[in-house]
Amino acid sequence: MSSEQLLNDGYRSQSIESNCIDSTNENPNDNHYAYENEIPKDNHYVYENHGSIRTFFIICNLACISLTNTAVTGMLIVGIPEIARKLAIPDYLLLCLTSGSCLLAAGVIADITNPKIISIGGALLLGLSIVGSGLSYNGHWLIAARAVQGVAIAMCLPTSVVLLTGSLPPGQRRNIGFSTLNLATVLGQSIGLVLGSVVDYSPTGWRFGFYLCGAATIALAIANCFVLPSGMSNPQFSWARVVHDVDWIGVLISSTSLGCFSYIFALMADRVDAIKLPENVAILCLAILLIPTFFLWMHRQQRNGGVALIPNKLWTRLPFLTICVMVLLQYAVIQSVEVYFSLFVQKIQRLPAKQASLRLIPNMLMGFILNPTIGLAVQHVRIDYLLTIASMLSAVAPLLLALTDPAWSYWYAEFWSMLLSGVAVDVTFTIAHLIVVDVFPLNTHALAGAVFNTASQFGFTGGLAVMALISSAYSKHMSDGTQDDPESLLSWWLQLDFVQFGN
């Protein structure tokens, strides 16, 4: 059923402008391609009038879980040199999480069981893993704790989507809920960067920040037992359905491929030459070969009437395909812009790290302003216009940095670049969630959230890997020892900025 037919039948979506959704004709009896507005007969999500206060706490508690997770990442970014030195662990392993390879599995399990239980269990495991990171006495312990943290946040992110869509009907409250999730990510990173600088003065050093975030996450998990709505469990749940109604082979293929790519990208971000090692070449080849294998398996499942994790036909819907590609590219750019702008300030302008952090504040302030605004306005404007304008504004950011003279005042170009760099991500986050949950059936919204978060995390790691590849090529070209010269660094910086602008 197309979006135009839905409008004619009185099913107008209240979350986004429906005339921007794909109008591809689909079989209305095909549950894989049902729109969110087509409520299945066995639907077990019943919207309740929770009231403003209950709605506030549902959104706030789910957002705060993302906040504590990103705060830990922010603290790691600041504390990497000290932590890596004390625990004798490579830098890239500190930021490498297992969440990217576990998201799809967690999403499909949450859809078929009880998303509230999965979310609470994930939050509790997240808190314990963060505390475990703080208790680490060697590198192996910390790697294990970070691996558990990746699994835990993979349980939380997809379930946050289904808990919002299952608790709040399409409309402004749901839109604000999605925008708040992104706002929490921005705020969490800011808190983490500040906390990472402050905790150095505490008796326990960097460990105190982990204890604080871990304790807060455990408290949120306990509070969610009472705050999150009950009655969202699938009435047809049975362990037999978990075995037979989940495409476990599809989950295994996709998770293995994503895990291999995440590892290779993290490795390349630290040292590009590591890709030449035979074992790493084998891992990369396996990751690439599993991509066509996944699509062939989806085709086989659909042809034989089996359960398909992400049916191939979904990728023929232009809005769904486009928004996934946009999320991947935009998250790749915003991550690399922030990292390499910090290097520009410190290595080319010769300013301390504290000054680099202060110069990133406009990016965070724009996120604080833009996310609530998008949540309020997205249902009143055409999303294709909104996405186009936001992408054009963000494209200006790396172009301004490429044209910046290091001798210029910060307010000439760098300020405007930082102000605009995150606009596309802030706008796309809310809209992407709304489009993805509109494409997936109502009873698979946790899987929809998993697809979005997989694309964003893949963009994060892939963006840094590509920039590291360019940096490595520069270092080889400037092998005469001049690569640390400010003029040579500026030439390298221009190449990176134009690549980001083209992206």
What confidence tens digit (pLDDT) does each residue in 94-121 have?
555 556 678 888 888 888 888 899 999 9
Residue 115: name the closest of 344, 425, 449 by CA: 449
Residue 88: name the closest of 34, 142, 149, 51 by CA: 142
- The pLDDT of residue 5 is 37
Whether the pLDDT of residue 500 is over 60: the answer is: no
Choice among 154-163, 333-342, 433-442, 487-496 with the minimum mean pLDDT: 487-496
How far is the C-alpha of 428 from the C-alpha of 386, rounded, in Å? Answer: 9
Model pTM? 0.78
- Which residues, including other chains, have CB under 8 Å from residue 102's CB and lie 6 or more apart? 150, 151, 154, 155, 255
Greater model confidence, 216 or 137? 216
User: How does residue 10 score in pLDDT terms, banded at 50, 70 and 90?
Assistant: very low
Residue 67: name the closest of 371, 491, 362 by CA: 371
Q: Are 159 and 118 in contact (CB under 8 A)?
A: yes
Query: What does pLDDT average to over the chain?
Result: 76
Residue 185: name the closest of 338, 323, 296 by CA: 338
Joined together, the tokens standing for residue 52 give 């403003």
- The pLDDT of residue 104 is 84
Greater model confidence, 477 or 63? 63
- The pLDDT of residue 476 is 57
Residue 379: name the closest of 178, 172, 179, 177 by CA: 172
Q: Which residue has the tokens 């749901």?
A: 174
pLDDT in tens, 285-307: 999 999 999 999 999 988 888 88
What are the φ and ψ backbone dihedral angles of 27, each rounded to 5 degrees? Answer: -75, 120
Whether the pLDDT of residue 239 is over 80: the answer is: no
Choice among 33-37, 54-58, 133-137, 479-483 with the minimum mean pLDDT: 33-37
Residue 331: name the closest of 454, 184, 471, 151 by CA: 454
Greater model confidence, 119 or 235? 119
Q: Are 159 and 449 in contact (CB under 8 A)?
A: yes
Alpha carbon 45 to its chain centroid, in Å, reads 25
CB burial string 149-186: b at 16+ within 10 A, e below:
bbbbbbbbbbbbbbbbbbbbebebbbbbbbbbbbbbbb
- The pLDDT of residue 87 is 74
Q: Are 421 and 397 in contact (CB under 8 A)?
A: yes
Greater model confidence, 214 or 10? 214
Compute CA distances 288 → 50, 256, 295, 423, 466, whole Å: 46, 11, 12, 32, 16
How far is the C-alpha of 331 from the C-alpha of 336, rounded, in Å? Answer: 9
Radius of gyration for the alpha carbons in the chain, expressed in angstroms and rounded: 23
Whether the pLDDT of residue 64 is over 90: the answer is: yes
- The pLDDT of residue 346 is 67
Choice among 8-22, 63-77, 360-374, 394-408 with the minimum mean pLDDT: 8-22
How far is the C-alpha of 252 from the C-alpha of 324, rounded, in Å? Answer: 21
Tell me what percent of the residues of the chain surpass a pLDDT of 90: 14
Q: Are 50 and 58 in contact (CB under 8 A)?
A: yes
Joined together, the tokens standing for residue 439 give 């494409």
Whether the pLDDT of residue 131 is over 90: the answer is: yes
Q: Which residue has the tokens 């983490």?
A: 192
How far is the C-alpha of 243 from the C-alpha of 238, rounded, in Å? Answer: 9
Greater model confidence, 448 or 44? 448
pLDDT in tens, 188-227: 877 887 777 676 666 677 788 889 999 999 999 999 999 9
